[in-house]
Amino acid sequence: MNSPKVNNINNSNSPKVRNLSAIIAVMLAAVTLFQAGNLKSNDLAGKGVSNIEAELIAEMDQFFAEDETSLEEEIYMEMEETQVEEVSIFDSEDNLVASGNPANDIELRKLVNQADYLSEFADKQYYRLSL
């Protein structure tokens, strides 16, 4: 078994077998990746969705996956969108003192900061000054 002829045969076949195994492994990995990429669109196509719609949904999923805003940033953005534009400020005798958008009027903003919050109705906030 230790003859030079047996060792030469094993050494000459060994690199070929390794190369063949490596090629088969790479091909198997490529097939697996292609199948995994098409799995989502095939699931959608099986549900009665056309190829164009499946591609559009895949693009939208990719867009939202790439969105870099954190949950905190999204909450702040929603709060800014739902911010009330109009306020009304009353004095202690329920007389209207000021009304408008505090983002546009510095004096109104100062009054809002001094007043107590009463309620909100129809995108308008109501405050009362307690002097």
> Which tokens go with 52?
């164009």
Round to whole Å and give the CA distance between 50 and 40: 13
Q: Which segments within 19-113 are labelled E, that is strand?
A: 86-90, 96-100
Round to whole Å and give the CA distance between 127 and 116: 5
> Which tokens go with 37?
């990429």
Mean pLDDT of 107-127: 90
Q: What is the pLDDT of residue 96?
A: 93
Q: What is the pLDDT of residue 95?
A: 93
Return the residue matching tokens 């063949």.
20
Does the pLDDT of residue 99 top 90, yes or no? yes
Local structure of 105: helix, strand or coil: coil
Total residues belonging to the chain: 131
Q: What is the pLDDT of residue 7?
A: 52
Q: What is the pLDDT of residue 115?
A: 93
Query: 0.85 exceeded by the pTM?
Result: no
Mean pLDDT of 30-36: 75
